[in-house]
Amino acid sequence: MSNDVFGKKRPGDGNALKSDKLLVTHVFGGTMSHRSIIEPFRIKSVEPIRMTTRPERRRFLADAGYNPFLLRAEDVLIDLLTDSGTGAMSAEQWAAIMRGDESYAGAKSYYRFAAAVESIFGFRYVLPTHQGRAAERILFSTTCKPGDVVPNNTHFDTTRANIEYVGARAVDLPIAEGREPATIHPFKGNMDVEALEALIAEVGRERIPLVMLTITNNSGGGQPVSMANVKAVRAVCDRFALPLYIDACRFAENAWFIREREAGYAQTSPREIARELFSYADGCTMSAKKDGLVNIGGFLATNDEALSRQESRLLILTEGFPTYGGLAGRDLDAMAVGLNEALDEDYLRYRIASTAYLGRHLTDIGIPIVQPPGGHAVYIDAAALLPHVPPRAYPGQALLAEMYLEGGIRAVEIGTVMFGSTDPDSGEERTAPMELVRLAIPRRVYTQSHIDYVCEVMADVFAARERIGGLTMVWQAPPLRHFTARFEPL
Ligand SMILES: *Cc1c(COP(=O)(O)O)cnc(C)c1O
């Protein structure tokens, strides 16, 4: 541990000397170095976080209906609820904020933003939106009609909700390994290409307005999609003349995984990898709150001029004029800088290493996680950790409550609370295929000692796992019920 960032040894670490360094050994054989991968930045502005007592947390949790979304952020010590919009901006981004041009139309900020998007993504038309789901709503309300079917490796919750809102069906087609938490696969986010062909044969190409690929596959564990898979999906789309759209939220992390794990890309820059990947697509939706390294922002891009014109009409109706799309000029400038910073090699090496570090420590403790760890988050298999809590007693949500009580850590359930629903006929609850708890890591926010603290808390949660009981849902408001649902201990 001597060359750890903080040289601090965790209790019970034993002979963790080698494995304790920030990803010196990659699961898939990246560069070996005897030096730690450190945070490639120093801190210029700090934000205090507040310790609370266990009796306080017990009260806060009960007041929040056992739903961490309903906690006050100031009552949370380490916030791993999401990596969305929670990142720290760089000095360059704050400088860009001051350059923001707040002209209503044709602002310089827009042109800087559009040039950044064009240089990385290569699409001809781009519309800024306030975040990813606004891009999704506009895309699906212009391309989908009731009865349509949209295939994806795995739809993110807002993507699915926006497709269903226009009366279409969202179908997940991950590869088999993507549904097995313990199975190691370098590109677990891949789409099952045969299943895609079978779906097209079953419903007919005219009912499929577009095919989508989510990189990285967020709901499937933050797992990457290989370039080979993108090409294979493209080939199927070509055969049936279907457009391919990328849900690009974590495009930079996905590019890094391709570089690390896919033959032929070890010497290719993340930017070149991203450019190649997007060259196979007809457009993308983007939440810049992820790999745009901003706190708000997104966009919708396409090569289809007619479609883009239709989309901008809707944009004007609900978001704003096409050169600002519901954002301030300064937000566009922050995005233009952030999209480029996200492709920095030192940043990506540290980013992926720090997620792997958390994953490895949780595994060492004995906590079952989705293997290997994803790019932005570690996903705990709550069903395997709490086998005595059935899916309808929400093992993931129960684990969240315990993590908060034990150490003031906030995370999110990705299981039956998020994806389940009540069957209108039987009144029975449909359960999700997996019961996961996601520990999402905000970008450039927490240091290694914060993550070490999380590991210590999780070791205590693990030791107490047998007495963690289930919950019952006492209130819900679908769709996206997980944001506001309330629970009580069983
Ligand atoms: C976050 C996210 C979205 C939605 O973006 P918002 O900015 O939260 O609206 C869509 N798809 C994926 C994969 C995401 O992670």
The best mutation among 156, 216, 250, 253 to test binding of ligand 1, ranked by most ligand atoms within 8 Å of the C-beta, falls on 156
* Residues spanned by the domain of 214: 91-341
Is residue 205 domain-shared with residue 281, that is, in the same domain? yes
Nearest to 30 by CA among 270, 257, 277: 257
In a domain, 48, yes or no: no
111 and 176 within one domain: yes
For ligand 1, say whether the CB of 84 is within 6 Å of any of its atoms. yes
Considering the domain architecture, whether residues 275 and 384 belong to the same structural domain is answered as no
Task: Please tell me whether residues 183 and 279 are part of one structural domain.
Answer: yes
DSSP assigned state of 149: E
Q: What is the pTM of this model?
A: 0.91
Pocket-testing residue among 83, 133, 225, 254, ligand 1, by greatest number of atoms within 8 A of Cβ = 133
Q: If you measure from the C-alpha of residue 158 to the centroid of ligand 1, how many angstroms do you get, rounded to a whole number?
A: 7
pLDDT of residue 242: 98
pLDDT of residue 12: 39
Nearest CA owner, ligand 1 atom 8: 132
49 CA to centre of ligand 1 in angstroms: 26
User: Residue 84 CA: which ligand 1 atom is closest?
Assistant: 1
319 and 208 in a common domain: yes
Please report the DSSP string for 280-312 in residue order.
Answer: T-SEEEEETTSTT-SSS-EEEEES-HHHHHHHH
Residue 235 sits in the same domain as residue 271: yes
**347 lies in some domain:** no
Of the residues 309, 341, 373, the one at which a domain ends: 341
Specify the pairing of strand 244-247 against strand 211-214.
Answer: parallel
Ligand 1 centroid to residue 202 C-alpha, Å: 29
- Does residue 474 sit in the same domain as residue 403? yes
Query: In the structure encoding, which two tokens stand for residue 446, read together?
Result: 């927490």
Residues of the chain with pLDDT under 70: 1-33
The answer to whether residue 305 sits within a structural domain is yes
pLDDT (0 to 100) of residue 32: 53
Q: Measure the CA–CA gap between 436 and 465, rounded to whole angstroms.
A: 15
Residue 84 lies in a domain: no
| CATH code of the domain in which 118 resides | 3.40.640.10
Do 478 and 368 lie in a common domain?
yes
Q: How far apart are CA 193 and CA 174, in angstroms?
A: 9
Where a domain ends, among 301, 319, 341? 341
**Spacing, Cα 247 to ligand 1 middle (Å):** 8
The domain spanning residue 72 has which CATH number?
3.90.1150.10
What is the atom index within ligand 1 of the atom nearest the CA of 135? 9
One domain for residues 224 and 301: yes
The answer to whether position 1 is within a domain reads: yes
- 247 ligand 1 Cβ < 6 A: yes
For residue 16, the CA-to-ligand 1 centroid distance in Å is 36
Whether the CB of 214 sits within 6 Å of ligand 1: yes
Q: What is the predicted pLDDT for the residue at 478?
A: 84
- Closest-CA residue to 157 (of 483, 387, 384): 483
Instruction: Round to whole Å and give the CA distance between 363 and 360.
Output: 5
Are 419 and 382 members of one domain? yes
Identify whether residues 158 and 34 lie together within a single domain. Answer: no
CB-based contact 114:473 (threshold 8 Å): no
Q: Specify if 423 maps to a domain.
A: yes
Domain assignment present for residue 47? The answer is no
Whether residues 363 and 279 fall in one domain: no
Which among 341, 368, 389 is the end of a domain? 341
Cβ–ligand 1 distance for 249 under 6 Å, the answer yes
**Tally of domains in the chain:** 3
Calculate ∠ Cα 104-108-114, nearest 5°.
100
The pLDDT, as a whole number, for residue 20 is 40
Residue 369: per-residue pLDDT: 96
| Amino acid 33: pLDDT | 65
Q: Are 277 and 230 in contact (CB under 8 A)?
A: yes
* Structure-block tokens of residue 365: 């403790």
Please report whether residue 253 resides in a domain.
yes
Between the CA of 155 and the centroid of ligand 1 the distance, in Å, is: 10
Residues belonging to the chain? 490
